[in-house]
């Protein structure tokens, strides 16, 4: 037994030494590789190490944009030429359809807009366009009324430019002042001249009684007691032309709306027509039996005049050289204004205010003693109506006197009623009244004397321009913001 165990132990030792010698031989064989083969082996080993090192790093998410681009590129590669043409054709047709829809919407909007304007123009021409303004007005506070001082003598007339930015005023001091509405400052002053210098001085040398501005704001016309009509460039206040021909004071001027045709009225009882753009006289119309005191016109080729003490209002149809005669007031008709193409308002020294329709020879309605009475008991007289104004194509009318207030009125349905709204306190003769085109304010020309004479003098009055804001409200008390604010 012991001999067998010893034999097995010796066999194990021989096997171990044999394996050791084999490993040593392999090692010795490795050390003995040629130099070139050894370099190649090292190079391959380093490359293998690099690959193993790279693979051993943690996996990271690939870049999404690059992946998307790769997918798109793959899609493009997969899309055939025929499919691409079909896709682009569909895209082009869709763009065309959208453009046609947008164009159709724009055309429909423009068509509705034009139709609305045409409808308004037709209604305006027929005198049926009536904006309901009076019911949404409330009286202004006295502190909100702005007073502009500049003239030395009573203001006789004024106009507002079509854009409502400027006011032109004239007075018995023969001067013309251009005012900035927003700031209330003077923009330009055309001073009076001296008597006897009317041929050399560019300006008026007698009381200015009338004034008008063209609907495009280009020309300003002024007329005085010296029978002269002067034409000015409204923007620069530079003198352009001088019209002569009337034989007495120029009491009324008006441009035909949308044109440069000018109508003038005079104390010589005639109406003349001028073409301002061509610096030309056109014709003269006769008919009144007393001096003409006021004139107005709109877009039709006709004008209306008040005939003073002949007691008539006349409509002059220029192309036909015809006239329509209206009777209604009992005193001298001193002022007149068109409300629209078919209706007008007038005032007289008998204290009455009349609304007229062009189709009837008598007033549609008359308000007597519109500004009450004054004088001692038993000798009371009505306050003269010295000025009237109407907001174009609306139901709002204003009247002025020397009763220490301007009165605003609402025209009833069909212009068959004249209802008082409220009074605005102003001391002095209200010789001129004009509504702004937007209807946001009313301008009054105040004087110590009447524009046509010196029958009374109110010493406490100030010769000034008053800008009266018109506050508009809806049912309730929420105020409507002014246009442009």
The Cβ-side half-sphere exposure at 466, using a 13 Å CA radius, reads 28
Query: How far are the Cα atoms of 140, 348, 419, 433, 447 from residue 400, in angstroms, in the given order?
Result: 17, 11, 15, 7, 12
User: Span 391-410, mean pLDDT?
Assistant: 95
The pLDDT assigned to 281 comes to 96
Q: Which residue has the higher pLDDT, 52 or 362?
A: 362
More confident residue, 6 or 286: 286
Q: Residue 106 burial (CB < 10 Å; 0-12/13-18/19+)?
A: exposed
Alpha-carbon distances of 462 from 169, 192, 274, 430, rounded to whole Å: 15, 20, 36, 11
- In this prediction, residue 329 carries a pLDDT of 92
> How far is residue 407's CA from residue 388's CA, in Å, rounded to a whole number?
10
What integer is the mean pLDDT of 435-451? Answer: 95
Distance CA 29, CA 21 (A): 12
Q: How many residues does the chain have?
A: 485
Return the sign of the alpha-carbon dihedral for residues 414, 415, 417, 419: positive
| Phi, psi dihedrals of residue 436, rounded to the nearest 5° | -70, 155
CB neighbourhood size of 81 (10 A)? 7
- The arithmetic mean of pLDDT across residues 67-81, rounded, is 60
Q: Which of the four pLDDT bands, split at 50, 70 and 90, describes residue 84?
A: confident
Share of the chain above pLDDT 90, in %: 62
Residue scoring higher pLDDT (475 or 176): 176
Cα–Cα distance measured from residue 208 to residue 155, given in angstroms and rounded to the nearest whole number: 9
Predicted pLDDT at 324: 94
Q: What pLDDT, in 10s, does the model give residues 157-183?
A: 999 999 999 999 999 999 999 999 999
pLDDT at 375: 85
Backbone angles phi, psi at 372, to 5 degrees: 70, -165
The pLDDT confidence band at residue 199, using thresholds 50, 70 and 90, is low
Label residue 26 by pLDDT band (50, 70, 90).
very low
In this model, does residue 326 exceed pLDDT 60? yes
Contact in structure between 342 and 128 (CB atoms under 8 Å) = yes
Q: State the Cα–Cα distance between residues 213 and 205, nearest whole angstrom.
A: 21
Query: What was the pLDDT predicted at 6?
Result: 52
pLDDT at 62 over 70: no
Q: In this model, does residue 396 exceed pLDDT 90?
A: yes
Q: State the distance between the two ends of the chain, measured CA to CA, in whole angstroms.
A: 127
The mean of the pLDDT values for the chain is 83
Whether the Cβ atoms of residue 342 and residue 360 lie closer than 8 Å to each other: no
| Dist. CA 168–CA 236, nearest whole Å | 12
How many other C-beta atoms lie within 10 A of the C-beta of residue 105?
10
CA dihedral 417, 423, 427, 428 (to 10 degrees): -10
Residue 129 has pLDDT above 70, yes or no: no
- List the beta bridge partners of residue 238: 233
Kindly state the average pLDDT of the residues 29-36: 46
* Sequence-ordered list of residues with C-beta below 8 angstroms from that of 414, at least 6 positions apart, any chain: 364
Q: How confident is the model at residue 257 (pLDDT cuts 50, 70, 90)?
A: very high
Task: Quote the Cα angle for 195-199-200, to 5°.
Answer: 90
Question: What is d(CA 309, CA 331) in angstroms, rounded to the nearest whole number?
Answer: 6
- Phi and psi of 64, rounded to 5°? -65, -45
Instruction: Return the structure tokens found at 99.
Output: 């453009």
The whole-number pLDDT of residue 8 equals 55
Q: How confident is the model at residue 107 (pLDDT cuts 50, 70, 90)?
A: confident
Contact partners, residue 331, CB within 8 Å, separation at least 6: 309, 311, 348, 349, 350, 351, 352
Residue written as token pair 């039996």: 289
| E strands, 318-382, in order | 322-327, 333-338, 343-348, 353-357, 365-367, 373-374, 381-382
Measured from the Cβ of residue 361, the count of other Cβ atoms closer than 10 Å reads 13
**Band of residue 483 on the pLDDT scale cut at 50, 70, 90:** very low
**3-class state of residue 406 by DSSP:** strand
Question: Beta-strand (E) ranges in 41-80?
Answer: none
Among 107-111, 135-139, 226-230, 460-464, the range scoring the smallest mean pLDDT is: 107-111
Mean pLDDT across 274-280: 95
- For residue 125, the surrounding DSSP H or E stretch is helix 81-126
**484 pLDDT tier (thresholds 50, 70, 90):** very low
């Amino acid at each position: 037994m012991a001999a067998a165990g010893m034999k097995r132990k010796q066999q194990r030792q021989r096997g171990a030494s044999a394996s050791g010698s084999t490993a040593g031989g392999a090692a010795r064989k490795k050390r003995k590789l040629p130099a070139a083969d050894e370099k190649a082996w090292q190079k391959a080993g380093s490359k293998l190490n690099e690959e193993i090192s790279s693979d051993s790093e943690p996996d990271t998410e690939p870049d999404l944009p690059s992946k998307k681009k790769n997918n798109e590129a793959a899609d493009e590669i997969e899309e055939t030429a025929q499919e691409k043409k079909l896709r682009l054709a569909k895209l082009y047709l869709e763009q065309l359809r959208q453009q046609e829809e947008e164009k159709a919407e724009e055309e429909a909007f423009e068509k509705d807009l034009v139709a609305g304007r045409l409808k308004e123009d037709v209604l305006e021409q027929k005198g049926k366009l009536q904006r309901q303004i009076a019911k949404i007005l409330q009286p202004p506070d006295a502190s909100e009324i702005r007073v502009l001082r500049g003239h030395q003598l009573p203001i006789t007339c004024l106009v507002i430019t079509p854009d409502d930015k400027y006011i032109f005023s004239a007075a018995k001091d023969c001067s013309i002042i251009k005012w900035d509405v927003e700031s209330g400052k003077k923009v330009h002053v055309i001073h009076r001249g001296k008597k006897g210098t009317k041929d050399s001085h560019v300006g008026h040398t007698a009381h200015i009684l009338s004034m008008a501005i063209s609907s495009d704001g280009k020309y300003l016309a002024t007329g005085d007691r010296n029978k002269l009509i002067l034409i000015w460039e409204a923007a620069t206040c530079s003198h352009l032309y001088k019209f002569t021909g009337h034989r007495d004071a120029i009491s009324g001027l008006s441009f035909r709306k949308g044109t440069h045709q000018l109508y003038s009225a005079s104390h010589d009882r005639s109406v003349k027509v001028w073409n301002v753009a061509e610096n030309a006289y056109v014709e003269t119309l006769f008919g009144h039996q007393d001096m003409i005191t006021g004139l107005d016109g709109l877009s039709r080729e006709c004008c209306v005049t008040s005939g003073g003490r002949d007691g008539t209002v006349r409509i002059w149809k220029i192309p036909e050289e015809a006239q329509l005669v209206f009777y209604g007031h009992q005193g001298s008709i001193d002022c007149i204004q068109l409300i629209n193409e078919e209706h007008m308002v007038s005032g007289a020294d008998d204290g009455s205010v009349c609304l007229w329709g062009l189709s009837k020879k008598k007033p549609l309605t008359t308000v007597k003693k519109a500004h009450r009475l004054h004088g001692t008991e038993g000798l009371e007289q009505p306050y003269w109506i010295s000025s009237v104004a109407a907001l174009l194509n609306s139901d709002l009318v204003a009247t002025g006197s020397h009763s220490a207030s301007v009165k605003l009125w609402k025209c009833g349905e069909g212009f068959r009623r004249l209802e008082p709204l409220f009074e605005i306190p102003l001391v002095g003769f209200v010789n001129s009244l004009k509504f702004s085109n937007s209807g946001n304010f009313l301008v009054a020309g105040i004087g110590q004397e009447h524009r046509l004479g010196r029958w009374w003098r109110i010493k406490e009055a100030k010769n000034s321009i008053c800008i009266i804001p018109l506050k508009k409200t809806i049912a309730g008390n929420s105020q409507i913001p002014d246009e442009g604010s």
